[in-house]
Structure 1
Amino acid sequence: MNDSQQRGTTGRAQVRRAELVAIGRRLFADTPYDALSMDDIARHAGVAKGLIYYYFKSKRGYYLAIVDDSVAALLARAGGDTDLPGAARLRRTIDGYLHYAEHHHAAYRTIATGGVGCDAEVLALRDAVREEMLAAVAEGAYGHRDLPPIARLALVGWLSAVEGTTLEWIGGPSAPDRPGRARLGALLARQLRATLAVIEEFAPECPAPPPSEEPFEPADDLAPVTGSP
């Protein structure tokens, strides 16, 4: 939690702070970080600049709060449905991850690439997302979060490929045959299944879960999750 999150603990203050974060997500989605001044932000938000300083202390603090909020929303979307059986849970995790990227391009790019320049705090948030995604996959595949080193390396490789693929998917040129979320999700799920099979060869204590017989279907876009849709 950064310093700005400690301000505004009353219900009304939390709502106001959340409104400012939502406005900031839209602003930074359309405008580069360096191109926005605090005066610009205050004007777009329709508030006095001092109010933003009160909640976030600085433009960087405001930006970090926005990234932190985006991270929470991504993890909530990808980590839902924890009561599903293993294979179904893995597929739901992939679809939730892609759902977030599909609907929040700028926020996803920030999370996946580490934000502005080499900001250590943003990079730490990005690493936290990766760790939580690895844990979610391990839990879905094996029923626990602990991974032997060889399994961790294999899953890190798969997740790195997912990040690159997703960035290309949301940022590449549109084409009539560009895959939708369900088709891309099926591809990533198949790649994960292959990775889990290879892990089993090298680490027999990590048996691959049986494949699901059901076709990959995206979850309802309006399915409730904790955090932002």
Structure 2
Amino acid sequence: MNKSQQRGRTASRTPQGTERSQARRAELIATGKELFADTSYDALSMDDIARQAGVAKGLIYYYFTNKRGYYLAIIEDAVAELVARAGSTHDLPPAERLRHTVDGYLRYAQHHQAAYRAIVTGGVGFDAEVLAIRARVRTRLLTTIARGVWDREDLPPLARTALTGWLSGVEGVTLDWIEERELPRETVVSLLVRGLGDTLRLIEEYEPDCPAPPRPPL
């Protein structure tokens, strides 16, 4: 490591240096989202990424180690945004909370299609780390639903299995919707919320401690 790199690493440990470092990293991730939205992973080299970002290639290596690390960081950031948007239900009643969660999920998929596809399809081939990210986002979404419906985070096995089945259907419907663009988002929201309500009532039959919210008025 040369003296310039040492000074840079030392400065990044100060509060001001940390803030600058975090801001720079966030900028690179935002640029990466745009790049990977239009171009496949394999088609982008580190030179391409550095040129589009307007930075030296070494800076990307500094923050992310390599292209794969950069891509995984972008997916992780996309996951955090997806879960935050889906889960920002505040103090809404349970039925409205569920609709808000589904609508937030679809809005994210609609406006970040490349990132969404990477999250739910495993990204680069069968990359184990990307698949692990997908598993984490599913867990966090299931926790968001459980908290919104039952005010709890622990799920009985049957409830977890049933909701996982519903979420798998959500992923398939969402992928088809953003590809075909034939239905308004509000229609897809209603379709998925109706399916979730049916799933919750089925869960209640087997797990009385997990009551379904009242049916929304038609």
What TM-score does the superposition give when structure 1 sets the normalisation length?
0.85
Aligned to 1:225: none
1:208 is the counterpart of 2:212: yes
Of structures 1 and 2, the one with the larger relative CO (CA 8 A, separation 6+) is 1
**Unpaired segments ≥5 residues, structure 2:** 1-11
Over the matched positions of the two proteins, sequence identity in percent amounts to 63
Secondary structure of residue in 2 paired with 1:146: coil
1:192 is the counterpart of 2:196: yes
Aligned to 1:94: 102
Aligned to 2:184: 180
Q: Is the 8 A contact 1:56 1:62 kept in 2?
A: yes
1:156-180 Cα shifts (integer Å, max 9, x gaps): 11000000000000012x4xxx221
1:63-118 Cα shifts (integer Å, max 9, x gaps): 11101110111011001023222111111110110010010000000011111012
Secondary structure of residue in 1 paired with 2:153: coil
Aligned to 1:141: 149
Q: What is the letter of the counterpart of residue 212 of structure 1? A: P
Cα distance in 2 for residues equivalent to 1:28 and 1:70: 12
Segments of 4+ in structure 1 off by > 6 A? Answer: none
Q: What is the letter of the counterpart of residue 83 of structure 2? A: L
Cα distance in 1 for residues equivalent to 2:183 and 2:50: 39
Higher-Rg structure is: 2
Q: Is the 8 A contact 1:74 1:100 kept in 2?
A: yes
Q: Is the 8 A contact 1:86 1:143 kept in 2?
A: no
Secondary structure of residue in 1 paired with 2:208: coil
**How many aligned residue pairs are there?**
203
Cα shift at 1:13: 1.4
Cα shift at 1:209: 0.9
For residues 3-14 of structure 1, what are the structure 2 equivalents within 5 Å? 10-14=18-22
Cα distance in 2 for residues equivalent to 1:72 and 1:152: 21
